[in-house]
Structure 1
Amino acid sequence: MNSARYCGRDFSVTELRSIKRLIADNPESSRAALSKLVCDMFSWRRPDGRLKDMSCRVAMLRMKNDGLIHLPPPRNGNNNGKCYLRRTPQAQPDPVPFITPAHSLTNLCLQPVSDRNQSHLWNEYIDRYHYLGYQPLPGAQMRYFVRNGNRILALMGFGSAAWKTAPRDQFIGWTKEQRKRQLHLLINNARFLILPWVRSKNLASKILAMATRRVADDWQKRYNYRPVMAETFVEIPRFSGTCYKAANWICLGETKGRGKLDRLHKARLPKKTIWIYPLVRNYRKLLCE
């Protein structure tokens, strides 16, 4: 093995040895602290200059799972988000169905997750009611509650884009170097959940339209750069992607069912349709610079 790729970065054998040595030299450090030390060591930073410590934490966990490094036990006791144990009355199922067409929702708005309590609540809703459960979004991200007045109807989350997807990369016209350089300008709609007791015709496509109008501005405010395209992956045959089509997203084809963590081309995962939505008109020019 000459190198291993994690979270969009190639780690050489020498770098992996350096990570192992750093872990051994800091036996009292938490996983979070170690990820920051690794980022400092390799100058692994976001476009706005901040450390990519969340991506690094995910990368190090995957290195551990691949047997390349050893990590100290997680201090929060939740096994890195694999089992989200928080349960509060605030996220209990609503016994009264919400049945209102989207065009009648005059107070519909997207509320960014902005503090720890909101973050816990968003995570809990996703864990309880999304078919994939809760998994932390690595790296830069924007999460939203979708509210009508004080009532939460849905949740949405954007995170880092997939490293490599052939139909998407061909559609953009990317070379490997262009993709490596500009991937941060593409964001992934990683989670979209309308709560199961909500019945509102056309709500999903309306939320998608609202989100694509504002997410670039929110991203700019938080990370000091502006994404130019959004993507998402819709599992088939579980879902058809109707709401994305209604919101004018573009379907580019299907994945091969291997997943982003399959480096040996052996995994057999559900196939997904690939959808993209340009956030600016000159997205190709900006992505291919």
Structure 2
Amino acid sequence: MDRTSAHSEQAWLRRVRVRLIEESERPSFDQLLEKHHYLHYRRPGGRSLRYVAELDGQWVALLSFSGAAPRVKAGDRKIGRTARQRVRRLHFVVNNSRFLVLLDRGRHPNLASRVPGLCLKRLSRDGQARR
């Protein structure tokens, strides 16, 4: 990659913004996942946060985060976590339930890294605000 194209890539990546979807956008969000995500749409269990990534107002990616599974015996055994520890700390754990890039990845390199990074910067704050 030459210097000019690297600079151009960085410039458009800086314009990507993520935000929580509005309730009125939820049907469109769910339909896009149903149509284009290999796991399709599935209503997340428990509380969830749904994000849209936009580039100049156009949706370029969708992400949803949901609460962790309340019990995973094998996981609890492996890390040596007690039932009490699990209950006390479970609200700190989230799953990235869906991630869908809506643009051609070959023409938009690094988008699939940039978008989750932007979400993670605000995920804790958004989750606390929704409590």
TM-score, reference length from structure 1 = 0.39
Give the 5 Å matches for 1:1-289: 103-105=10-12, 106-115=14-23, 117-162=24-69, 163-164=71-72, 166-167=74-75, 170-171=78-79, 173-195=80-102, 197-198=104-105, 199-223=107-131
Map Cα deviations across residues 110-147 of structure 1 (whole Å, 9 max, x no partner).
120121x2111110110110001111112111100110
Report the Cα distance in structure 1 between the residues aligned to 2:20 and 2:77, rounded to whole angstroms. Answer: 29
Report the Cα distance in structure 1 between the residues aligned to 2:11 and 2:88, rounded to whole angstroms. Answer: 44
Report the Cα distance in structure 1 between the residues aligned to 2:96 and 2:77, rounded to whole angstroms. Answer: 17
Distance 1:113 1:168, change over 3 A: farther
Amino acid at match of 1:140: R
Q: Whose helix proportion is higher, 1 or 2? A: 2
Distance 1:136 1:150, change over 3 A: same
Report the Cα distance in structure 2 between the residues aligned to 1:193 and 1:133, rounded to whole angstroms. Answer: 10
Q: For the Cα contact (< 8 Å) 2:61–2:101, is it kept in 1?
A: yes
Map Cα deviations across residues 9-60 of structure 1 (whole Å, 9 max, x no partner).
xxxxxxxxxxxxxxxxxxxxxxxxxxxxxxxxxxxxxxxxxxxxxxxxxxxx
> % of aligned pairs identical?
29
Q: Any stretches of 5+ residues in structure 1 without a counterpart?
A: 1-100, 224-289
Q: For the Cα contact (< 8 Å) 2:17–2:53, is it kept in 1?
A: yes
TM-score, reference length from structure 2 = 0.81
Q: For the Cα contact (< 8 Å) 2:60–2:103, is it kept in 1?
A: no
Q: For the Cα contact (< 8 Å) 1:139–1:160, is it kept in 2?
A: yes
Q: CA deviation at 1:186?
A: 0.6
Distance 1:189 1:168, change over 3 A: farther
Distance 1:102 1:187, change over 3 A: farther
Q: For the Cα contact (< 8 Å) 1:102–1:206, is it kept in 2?
A: no
Q: CA deviation at 1:166?
A: 3.5
Q: Which runs of 4+ in 1 moved over 6 A?
A: none
Report the Cα distance in structure 2 between the residues aligned to 1:136 and 1:102, rounded to whole angstroms. Answer: 35
Q: For the Cα contact (< 8 Å) 2:67–2:94, is it kept in 1?
A: yes
Report the Cα distance in structure 1 between the residues aligned to 2:78 and 2:44, rounded to whole angstroms. Answer: 26
Report the Cα distance in structure 1 between the residues aligned to 2:113 and 2:56, rounded to whole angstroms. Answer: 19
Partner of 2:5: none
Find the residue that maps to 1:201 and give its secondary structure.
coil
